[in-house]
Amino acid sequence: MSAIAAWEGLAPREITSMHRPALTIVPTPLAIARSTGDAGLRPTRAGRLLATVVVALILVSIWMAVFTPRAASASSPLRTVTVQAGQTLSELAVRHLPQLAPAEGVARIQLANRMSGTHVLAGQHLVIPDVP
């Protein structure tokens, strides 16, 4: 005798009459997305943050390009001199930048002309910087 037959309360008739539910197909998230027309591609939090940062950088760069004042030296003509035979950088600094000390004038002329030394050649064109 089996354990089920010995169990009080269950008759063999009841066991055979139990109905087992049929299996149903559960739709996958991809199938649901296809049926609703959703592509299924959604930006992640990091993706949204990256897009926000890129847009902000573009806007800031446009803002700076439009509203940054132009350099005053670009609008005013540059003053240039031609070095004569026998002239030194110190002489040019004293003559063209008299309001500065000679060493300061030499340094400013060197910076304006991207010079690494004080040697100049006859016929060389030098930019004389504006002094405020």
Domain map of the chain by residue range?
Answer: 78-128
Q: What pairs with residue 80 in β-bridges?
A: 127
- pLDDT above 90 for 49: yes
Lookup: tokens for 43: 């930006």
CATH of 78-128, one of 3.40.50, 1.10.357, 3.30.1360, 3.10.350: 3.10.350
Per-residue 3-state assignment (H helix, E strand, C coil) for the chain: CCHHHHCCCCCHHHHHHCCCCCCCCCCCHHHHHHHHCCCCCCCCHHHHHHHHHHHHHHHHHHHHHHHCCCCHHHHCCCEEEECCCCCCHHHHHHHHCCCCCHHHHHHHHHHHHCCCCCCCCCCCEEEECCCC
**pLDDT exceeds 90 at position 14:** no
**Given this model, what pLDDT does residue 95 score?**
93
Which pLDDT belongs to residue 46? 94
pLDDT at 16 over 80: no
Quick: pLDDT tens for 56-81: 999 999 998 888 776 554 555 678 99
- Does pTM surpass 0.75? no
pLDDT band, very low/low/confident/very high, at 94 (cuts 50, 70, 90): very high
